[in-house]
Amino acid sequence: MRSFERGDLLAMDEQIIEKVIAYITELFRSDAGGHDVEHTLRVYRNALLIAEEEAAWRSADMRFWKTF
């Protein structure tokens, strides 16, 4: 499993992100349900935050266990 440093996930290729946003905008254009573009982007942003927190937690956890 790859360990992410803080900010790694935020440094994703902007061009890919723009293509994905364009795709989901078109995909949800006619969707009357609750999963619209804004919902998808909230999920994406939350996933980035969780991934960063997990990376920080794992890093701190590894430093702790290396002291023994």
Judge if pTM exceeds 0.85.
Answer: no
The answer to whether residue 19 sits within a structural domain is: yes
Distance, CA of 60 to CA of 19 (rounded, Å) = 35
Of the pLDDT bands very low, low, confident and very high (cuts 50, 70, 90), residue 56 is confident
Residue 51 lies in a domain: yes
Domain encompassing residue 21: 9-65
Average pLDDT, integer, range 5-25: 72
What is the tally of structural domains in the chain?
A: 1
**Predicted pLDDT of residue 21:** 86
pLDDT mean over 50-68: 73
Inside any domain, residue 45: yes
pLDDT per position as a tens digit, 16-53: 888 888 998 888 887 767 778 888 889 888 988 888 88
Helical residues (DSSP H) of the chain, grouped into ranges: 14-27, 37-65
